[in-house]
């Protein structure tokens, strides 16, 4: 059993147990903020295409302009500096840097990130690069996308273009953001680009994403100056059985297996989880592993990035009590825990965050963790000046950062925390309808206004750093 983090003042006290060396950051991703979708040689990614497919994205929203960060980058870096964070996690747009996903680097595209890195360093903020946050060049999807092995090699080539240009100033490198989302939401559920719906394709995508991570890490490390840190970011939650029944326990096992262990085990133990391999075989699906792949995938990393938003309870029965769906597959149904929810409908369960982190530290020891994303969407109401008194979001941060501190006290090696997100942005299929920012963006004027949560975050960082 793990001990949950308390709320209120007790949470603030717990947060102050974090070490002065703890890293504090804010995070974004390219397609969600940059805009300038077809400028300076950038070509379409699967998200440009998906957004133009009717009924896929809320209100037909797209990232053509987004937060116009491409044109407002120096002011945005100024803003980041004013929050007192030491790290800015951003992603690089593959089709901006390598239009069409093949060939040489696009000087204008990489030039943008080159300037961004310099601006950050001038403000004493460390750049933390994510190489892939879901924007696959459309041409690579047309050639088969992540279900095809070749895409992994293309990713490693692209990674090297970015690495060659920025490694002299960037120490922290994340290969992929949330491969579960790329594979499962993109190729099975269809709620993210490219919007395909084929389970076998999704499973093939899992392996090729992980292979791409391994190949890119291997090549970057071979070319790296000393001191670089490489890693991958996974979206992880918890899977708790709704009851002690065998069906519910099996449902939780499958959810944890497909959601977490299918990534953690090959990356950190060099093998796919046997129970999930068997489950897949029952469905006639095999992971497309070739000789040597698992050595590549499990090459050591310096950091595991953890993104956490919620944890879930699973039942092995549908509402009618069936244990199998129409296709004969077992049911894994998430059931509500009766907790308050965010605007996404995600239950607020900071105690599950502690549980997850303690478990990761226990089951996968030896890899330091950084929380590369955590945050919440709420229906913000700005005052006449655009200021948002976002009490609920602030509470969410307070409880979840305390949950991190609680996990550290219970032995988990967590080195940093990055708030999702620096500013309101294009929330994928939810378009601009859902706001996760600690800074409000008025999309009409592109005005940025720090919310209460941003001020709280800044003050909290200051307190922890000063040890007061």
Provide Rg for the chain, Cα atoms. Answer: 21
Per-residue x/- marks for ligand FCB, 10-49, CB under 6 A?
Answer: -------------------x--x-----------------
Task: Decide: is 90 part of the binding site for ligand FCB (CB under 6 A).
Answer: no
Residue 4 per-residue DSSP state: P
Q: Which CB sits closer to ligand FCB, 308 or 315? A: 308
Interacting residues with ligand FCB between 365 and 384 (CB under 6 A): 373
Angle subtended at Cα 148 by Cα 146 and Cα 150, rounded to the nearest 5 degrees? 100
**DSSP labels, 351-412:** HHHHHHHHHHHHHSTT--EEEEE--------B-TTS-B--HHHHHHHHHHHHHHHHHHHTT-
Q: Give the shortest CB-32-to-ligand FCB separation in angstroms.
A: 6
Among residues 34, 178, 250, 355, the one annotated as catalytic is 178
Token pair belonging to 177: 């953001």
Q: Are strands 414-420 and 369-373 parallel, antiparallel or unpaired?
A: parallel
> Which of 135, 178, 248, 395 touches ligand FCB by CB under 6 A?
178
Any catalytic annotation for residue 373? yes
Q: Which CB sits closer to ligand FCB, 346 or 364? A: 346
Q: Give the shortest CB-373-to-ligand FCB separation in angstroms.
A: 6
Token pair belonging to 457: 């975050």
Q: Which CB sits closer to ligand FCB, 181 or 193? A: 181
- Cβ distance 12 to 457 under 8 Å? no
- Please tell me the distance from the alpha carbon of residue 3 to that of residue 208, in angstroms, as a whole number: 37
- Tell me the HSE value of 120 on the side-chain side, using a 13 A CA sphere: 23
Task: Decide: is 240 part of the binding site for ligand FCB (CB under 6 A).
Answer: no
Angle subtended at Cα 436 by Cα 430 and Cα 440, rounded to the nearest 5 degrees? 110
- Please tell me the distance from the alpha carbon of residue 174 to that of residue 297, in angstroms, as a whole number: 14
Any catalytic annotation for residue 178? yes
Which stretch in 164-172, 194-202, 264-272, 420-428 sits in contact with ligand FCB by CB under 6 A? 420-428
Per-residue x/- marks for ligand FCB, 185-224, CB under 6 A?
Answer: ----------------------------------------
Task: Decide: is 427 part of the binding site for ligand FCB (CB under 6 A).
Answer: yes
Which stretch in 101-109, 176-184, 242-250, 274-282 sits in contact with ligand FCB by CB under 6 A? 176-184
Question: Catalytic positions, please?
Answer: 178, 373
The footprint of ligand FCB (CB under 6 A) covers 29, 32, 177-178, 181, 235, 307, 373, 420, 427-428, 436
């Amino acid at each position: 059993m793990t001990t949950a983090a308390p709320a209120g003042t007790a949470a603030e006290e717990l947060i102050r147990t974090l070490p002065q060396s703890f890293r504090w950051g804010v995070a974004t991703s390219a397609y969600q903020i940059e805009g300038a979708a077809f400028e300076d040689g950038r070509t379409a990614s699967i998200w440009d295409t998906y957004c133009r497919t009717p009924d896929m994205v809320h209100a037909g929203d797209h990232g053509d302009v987004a937060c116009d960060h491409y044109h407002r980058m120096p002011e945005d870096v100024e803003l980041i500096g004013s929050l007192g964070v030491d790290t800015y996690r951003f992603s690089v747009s593959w089709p901006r840097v390598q239009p069409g996903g093949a060939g040489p680097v696009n000087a204008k595209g990489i030039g943008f990130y080159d300037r961004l890195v310099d601006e950050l360093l001038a403000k004493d903020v460390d750049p933390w690069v994510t190489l892939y946050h879901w924007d696959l060049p459309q041409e690579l999807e047309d050639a088969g996308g992540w279900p095809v092995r070749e895409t992994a090699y293309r990713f490693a080539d692209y990674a090297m273009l970015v690495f060659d240009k920025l490694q002299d100033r960037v120490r922290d490198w994340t290969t992929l953001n949330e491969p579960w989302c790329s594979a499962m939401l993109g190729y099975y559920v269809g709620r993210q680009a490219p919007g395909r719906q084929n389970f076998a394709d999704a499973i093939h995508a899992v392996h090729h994403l992980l292979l791409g991570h391994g190949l890119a890490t291997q090549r970057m490390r071979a070319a790296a100056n000393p001191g670089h840190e490489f890693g991958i970011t996974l979206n992880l939650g918890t899977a708790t059985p709704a009851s002690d029944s065998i069906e519910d326990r099996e449902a939780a096992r499958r959810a944890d297996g497909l959601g977490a262990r299918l990534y953690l085990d090959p990356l950190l133990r060099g093998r796919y989880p046997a129970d999930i391999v068997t489950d897949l075989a029952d469905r006639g699906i095999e992971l497309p592993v070739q000789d040597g792949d698992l050595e590549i995938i499990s090459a050591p990393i310096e950091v595991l990035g953890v993104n956490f938003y919620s944890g879930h309870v699973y039942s092995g029965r549908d509402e009618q009590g069936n244990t199998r769906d129409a296709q004969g597959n077992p049911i894994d149904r998430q059931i509500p825990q009766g907790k308050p929810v965010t605007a996404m409908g995600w239950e607020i369960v900071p105690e599950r965050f502690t549980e997850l982190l303690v478990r990761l530290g226990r089951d996968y020891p030896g890899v330091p963790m950084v929380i590369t994303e955590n945050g919440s969407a709420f229906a913000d109401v700005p005052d006449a000046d655009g200021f948002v008194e976002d009490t609920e979001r602030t509470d969410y941060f307070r409880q979840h950062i305390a949950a991190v501190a609680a996990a550290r006290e219970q032995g988990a090696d967590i080195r940093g925390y990055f708030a999702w997100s620096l500013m309101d942005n294009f929330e994928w299929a939810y378009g601009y309808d859902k706001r996760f920012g600690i800074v409000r963006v008025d999309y009409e004027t592109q005005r940025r206004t720090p919310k209460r949560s941003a001020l709280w975050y800044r003050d909290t960082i200051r307190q922890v750093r000063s040890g007061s």
